[in-house]
Structure 1
Amino acid sequence: MDLQQLRYVVAVAETRSFTRAAERCFVVQSALSHQVARLERELGLRLFARTSRRVELTQAGEAFLPAARESLACAERAVTEAAAATGEVRGRLTVGVIPTVAAVDIPDLFKDVRDRHPRIRIALQTGASDTLTARVAAGDLDAAFLGLPEGVAPRGVQVRELARDRSVAVLPADHPLAGQPLIPLARLAEETFADFPTGSPGRTQSDMAFAAAGLQREVAFEASAVELLLRLVRRGLAVTLLPRMFARPAGPGLVTVPVTDGPRRVEYLVWSDFNPTPALRAFLGVLDRHAPRPAADGGQ
């Protein structure tokens, strides 16, 4: 058994296709199939049930796969640790971000990491703050940028506060409230809203603010993508609330207006201190050059 065979097994398992696995591994299909079959003979077990149209893991394959992935990860870690001992940082760094991260310019940060450590391979994934936190705690992500309601802190991970902010109303440019210097939350509650899905941290920030004021509102449109929320507002179908740092400038056809007692959030970076990789340690070092000091208050 060798590492290349393990890579082929993982590729076939993830793509459910010998053809696509060979393309991913940059080998001809016959060579990949031969190596997988050779491994199966060595183990005395079939890892895959396959026909000309379908490939699935057998029960033995399901049991084999986690250890195969772990072996590959350990091999990669051995290489990165050896390189780090000579002063060279290499390896894979997977970072999660919420769609509305504003405290740090993510592309600028990643470029700085790449310029300083060209052997680090960066991968970016998006998601909701609660999901990203769980994935960092589980070791599926190296780090993540989050936004959570004020008073709700991440758990089970290392935490660095980056910034505090309060939301602003995002309105169509021709909305009657668009010219106001400040909108009371009670007045905004009369409007139809577009917002993030129920239960998501982004939605919770707004729900908490309206509940604290004893107000109810109608959320007619739910979407995970900020771009879709803004398109709904631009069409005059709804208004929305977004963090001030992210929402300004709102874009053509939109205006932002501060809100009295509007939702507040805190942006964090989270990571796990369980066996951090050299790539993660280097990333945290570069972040020090980009992360601002948190303000005491998000302001109006």
Structure 2
Amino acid sequence: MELQQMRYVVAVAEERSFTRAAERCFVVQSSLSHQIKALERELGVELFARSSRRVEPTAAGEAFLPAARASLEAAERAVDDAAAATGRVRGTLTIGMIPTVTALDVPEALRRFRQAHPDVRVRLRGGGSDGFIAAIGRGEMDVAVLGLAGDVDQAGVASRVLARERLAAVVSAEHRLAPRRRLRLSDLAEEIFVDFPAGTPGRAQSDIAFAAAGVRREVMLEAVDAPTILDLVRADLAVALLPPAVVPEGEGLVAVPVADGPTRTEHLAWSGFNPSPATRAFLAMAGEGSARVAGEPVTDPSGR
């Protein structure tokens, strides 16, 4: 069994088409079909159900795919490791980014990384911290910036703290609380809130802070990204709790410090088990001036 045959099988499974798979693999369709047929004869099973209009994996094909993908990834990793031994970093780097990254200057880090390692393909993925942690644990993501109420607690996932910060109350410029210099959570008890979905890390720090303060709050609106949350606040439909750095100045929004407000910690996370050369190179780059001082203390805006 050859790696090229497994590569063809994975391409057909993902494209659901021999024609598109051949284009993706830069081979003529007849050659790709011949190689897959040869592999099926070797295995003694059909990997694909074929018709004039449809192609899909059989049960045997579905069972074959996970190990085939793992073999291809292992082969690519072997090539990357060999190149790294000569000082050349190559391969793919998949980075997860939460919507409210403030501690790491990602564009600057990537600019310097690409200058130093132009052979690395970079894939940026949006989403939430919990999904990123799980993806790193499964080996599907290399690095992620996380925003959590506490520490990263996942076997096989390593991390370092980029910054700790206190969230601010974000209100519209016309809101009654906009002129205030500082607030407490009790001042927000009667407000309607917009926040990230319940159960997500982006929401957790606020839920924890209000519960600890014994203050009930009403979240009537939920959104999955910071720009949407800011738009709803700008329209004076609700207030929010967000990192001050994500609130644009002079655009109908005001960020007011909250003395006992929620705190969150931004982490840079990666696989603790044999990270790739590209991952190690990015971690080194991200530690050279692209982040704020790790463990930055959270100060009380009231001065206490």
The answer for the alignment partner of 1:74 in structure 2 is 74
Q: Trace 1:279-294 onto structure 2 (pairs within 5 A).
A: 279-289=278-288, 290-294=290-294
SS across alignment from 1:257: strand
The 1:27–1:299 alpha-carbon spacing in structure 2 relative to 1, beyond 3 Å, is: farther
Is the 2:259–2:300 Cα contact (8 Å) retained in structure 1?
no
Aligned with 1:292: secondary structure?
A: coil
- The percentage of aligned residue pairs carrying the same residue is 58
**Quick one: structure 1 residues 221 and 23, their matched pair in 2 at CA, closer, same or farther if it must change by over 3 Å?**
farther
Give 1:115's aligned residue: 115
Q: Supply the distance in 2 between the matched residues of 1:10 and 1:104 (Cα, whole angstroms).
A: 36
Residue in 1 aligned with 2:253?
254
- Deviations 1:189-218 (Å, cap 9, x if unpaired)? 211111000000111111111111111111
Which residue of structure 1 lines up, in the alignment, with residue 4 of structure 2? Answer: 4
CA drift at 1:246: 2.8
Q: Superposition pairs for residues 159-174 of structure 1, below 5 Å?
A: 159-174=159-174
The equivalent residue for 1:136 is 136
**Is contact 1:98–1:145 with CA below 8 Å preserved after alignment?**
yes
Shift of 1:24: 2.9
Partner of residue 224, structure 2? 224
C-alpha change, 1:13 and 1:250, in structure 2 (3 Å) is: farther
Residue 276 of structure 1 aligns with which residue? 275
The answer to whether the Cα contact below 8 Å between 2:170 and 2:255 also exists between their aligned partners in 1 is: yes
Q: 2:266 maps to which residue?
A: 267
Deviates more, 1:139-148 or 1:196-205: 139-148
Q: Tell me, what secondary structure is at the counterpart of 1:179?
A: coil
Q: CA deviation at 1:56?
A: 1.9
Question: Matches of 2:141 and 2:238 in 1, distance apart?
Answer: 35
TM-score, normalization by structure 1:
0.93
Residue 173 of structure 1 and its aligned partner are, at CA, apart by: 1.3
* Residues 1:299 and 1:94: Cα distance change in structure 2 (over 3 Å): farther
Superposed CA deviations along residues 224-259 of structure 1, whole A, max 9, x for unmatched, are 121211111111211111112333x35622111111
Distance 1:18 1:279, change over 3 A: same
Name the CA distance, whole Å, in 2 between partners of 1:133 and 1:284: 16
Distance 1:123 1:299, change over 3 A: farther
Q: Does the Cα contact within 8 Å between 1:13 and 1:57 map onto a contact in 2?
A: yes
Point out where structure 2 has 5 or more consecutive residues left out of the alignment.
none
Deviates more, 1:18-27 or 1:226-235: 18-27
1:239-295 Cα shifts (integer Å, max 9, x gaps): 111112333x35622111111211100111111221221111111111111222132
Aligned residue type for 1:75: A
Q: Distance in 2 between matches of 1:251 and 1:31?
A: 61
The verdict on how the C-alpha distance between 1:26 and 1:11 changes in structure 2, with shifts beyond 3 A counting, is: same
The alignment of Structure 1 onto Structure 2 pairs a total of residues equal to 298
For residues 1-300 of structure 1, the aligned pairs below 5 Å read 1-149=1-149, 151-156=150-155, 157-247=157-247, 249=248, 252-289=251-288, 290-294=290-294, 295-300=296-301
Cα contact 1:165–1:245 (8 A) shared by 2: no
Residues 234 and 126 of structure 1: CA distance in aligned 2, closer, same or farther (over 3 Å): same
Task: Show structure 1 runs of 4+ deviating over 4 A.
Answer: none
User: How far has the Cα of 1:298 moved from its partner?
Assistant: 4.7
Q: CA RMSD in A?
A: 1.7
Distance in structure 2 (CA, Å) of the matches to 1:272 and 1:9: 28
- Asked whether the equivalents of residues 165 and 297 of structure 2 are also in contact (C-alpha less than 8 Å), the reply is no
Supply the distance in 1 between the matched residues of 2:217 and 2:120 (Cα, whole angstroms).
Answer: 47
Aligned CA distance change for structure 1 residues 27 and 188 (closer, same or farther; 3 Å):
farther
Q: Which amino acid aligns with 1:256?
A: A
| 8 Å Cα contact 1:103-1:245 kept in structure 2 | no
Shift of residue 296, structure 1, vs aligned partner: 1.9
Shift of residue 299, structure 1, vs aligned partner = 4.8
Structure 1's unaligned 5+ residue stretches are none
Cα distance 1:68–1:96, how it changes in 2: closer, same or farther (>3 A)?
A: same
Q: Sort the Cα spacing of 1:229 and 1:20 in 2 relative to 1 into closer, same or farther, 3 A.
A: farther
Opposite residue 190 of structure 1, the aligned amino acid is: E
SS at match of 1:183: coil
Structure 2: which amino acid aligns with 1:107? P
Q: Is the 8 A contact 1:170 1:250 kept in 2?
A: no
